[in-house]
Structure 1
Amino acid sequence: MRKNRIVVTIGCMCASVLIAGTSSINAANKVEIDSAVAGISVAMNNFYAGTANPEVELKDYLKNPVEAASAPTVPQTAAAETGAPETEAQPEEVSPYANIAVSQVGTDEGYVNIRTDANTDAEIVGKIYNNCAATIEETVEREDGTWYKIQSGSVEGYIKADYFVTGDEAEQVAMKIGKSFCEVSEGGLRLRSEANTDSEVIDTLWQGDTYTVVDQEEDFVKLSLGQDDDGNYITGYVAKQYVNTYVKFDKAISLEEEKAKLEEEARLAEEARKAEEELKKAETEAQTERETEKKDTQKATEAEKKTEEETTKKETKAPAAEAPTEAVSNATRSAIVAYAKQFVGGPYVYGGNSLTGGTDCSGFTRGVYSHFGISLPRTSRSQAGAGRQISVGDLQPGDLIFYANGGSIYHVAMYIGGGQIIHAIDEQHGIGISGLNTGRVYCAVSVL
């Protein structure tokens, strides 16, 4: 359920590893990979560079790597008999998972420490959570068992081999936990209803947009734009040469990265707390103003409006009462945005309603507004009818933005000011902040 690219992504203590590939002719020169995972890059580049259907072909390759790697070479003796030039025997290609391990952590904490040396007394440099990928750089035998020296994300260090699966087991786990995505490499890309250039154009995609890959064909990639309110996936096809495909795994997190993440969470929580304090202050001042106005009105009534001057004073005082109302409105908008930002990086779950445990786009907006006593319907389509429609040019922080396909609303986001929106994007990005592309907005609604 996304239409824009994320700006900030913070995972659940495991960051992202991209095993990347591209379908363009010069794919070997365009492989994109997370800069922190060079070990995995080395293992995967030989396979992905130039392959037309990476996810399917990788699975077949892993089943029979020698057969899939290359055709049999001609023996030297046979070449001599036929007069053909002698061919140097090519080494067997190594499976992309030969040096890759996937963590299978069963501890109560949900993670295992990565250390500077192969012993439990060594300094801790990072943590690895369940289903994270790592490159094995070295195997070390100790009295207490086997240790791996691994590289995962920005973290390099040692961890007991007991917490990893490798080889065929790693392949099976990776195929389940790895998700295939693609990034649009050129703007104005047509999304079509079928895998050909003659079919209906159902949307236009922009450079930098990222989507979930549902399937791949010879020249086209089938993408998912998310799910509508009925749970149906909105899908379409784009020409493969204009997108870069990759498989995403999680990786380890260093202590520095974890500290930075916790500090950012604390900062956002403090901003939300202060914003809500300002809201309460504005509401108190507004209530005091209303009570004062009410008393003044009662006094004027009791005096039966003795003079025209008193009546004039009463009439000119009414507009002043609007100021606290506007102050409350502005404080409410600020508080809503600050509260929503705390959940950036949270997981996307279709049909979910938990701001921390997993939610979809409409569950996210509904949950945020509910915190402030504002009730919204459950689906994005219903939420579009819950307030008053406004023009995109009149958007204020806290207003809702809706996206549609063929007139059917399928996604909702919240405007946070500065040309940005916050929303539960999709399974890859979770809850994140994106730039507002006004040309793609179906309608905007204010419920404040």
Structure 2
Amino acid sequence: MKRRGIKQVTLGILGGLVLTLNVNAATIGVVNVKNLNVRSGPSTTSSIVDHVHLGEKLEIISTSDNWFKIDLDLLSNAYVHSNYVNIENSSNSKVVTTKAELRNSPNLLGNVLATIDKGQLVSIEYQTGDWFYVSTTKGKGYMYKNSLSETKSSDSKSLSTSQDTTEKASKKVATVNTNILNVRQQPSISSKKIGKVYRNNTFEVLSESEEWVSIKIPNGSTGYIYKDYVVISDEKTITDSSSLRQQVVSYAKQFLGNPYVWGGNSLTKGVDCSGFTQQVMKKFGISISRTSRSQINNGYRVSKNDLLPGDLVFFGYRNRISHVALYIGNNQVIHANNRKTGIIINTLGDSRLLPYIGASRVIK
């Protein structure tokens, strides 16, 4: 049988009775639904690794937005949604501001779930920084401590968050997995569009709900994108992008003078324009498609004035892409040009190049 919830240790056997003792005074939660999914991460997109059931007691290790990390069997990562767990020994408090906001995360960027009137009682379950996680008649969420009549009680629990733990967890990021995605002012398809983002754009997740993710777009505005068209993951430690860009450029220059072969994929024996960019990027673990027309959709669009070394630059007639080159800085590109010249460097404004169409960034 699987061990559940509170860690216990056997002290011994006396008169046929087995004595047990709780190892520590942990924060304990009680499941309040019949069947609750346990996930591998604090998100509904994370895989389901187990289930817990009504009335079952759980040892809560830490909290991340609306999720509890729990101690469960031998699982190193086990999370349940906090809406479906009641904290034991919670304390009551009273709203002291005219309208107190109940948010879905412990910061001012969190979505407002409801407003609670002055004088209403709420049940404090735990504190995280300057915020309390509370249970109200309108649901559970976070309220700023100054909204309540008490900032902490002897009965309330204080849980660590991913930012408080000694080994800090990575921030969550959302990566767009469709060609173009609208950014809306509010989490609703009827809300005003305030911008667009593109495939492979990655943004820090400010908050998330079942269907929407809140992000900050390049112009500084905070907006919402539909969750079905992004992949939520932990932010990964990657090589410094400026250093990586220079490595890409240096590697590409090794093949100057090598032959152009239409349809070729060899940087030494022969390659065409899109084969050249694909094979150079492949060296650094960056996967892009095979044709110049499709490669513009592998990254996110950047303006000509914002080009950085390693960006892909596209050319053609009448807005129809037929050539791609690698920008190397100082207004220059390297590319597999044609059978006569092979792989060469040109200035971006060289009249021998086809008309400029656009650029894409695949190095984040």
TM-score with structure 1 setting the length: 0.29
Name the structure where helix makes up a greater proportion of residues. Answer: 1
- Greater relative contact order (Cα 8 A, min sep 6): structure 1 or 2? 1
Q: Which has the larger radius of gyration?
A: 1
TM-score (norm 2): 0.35
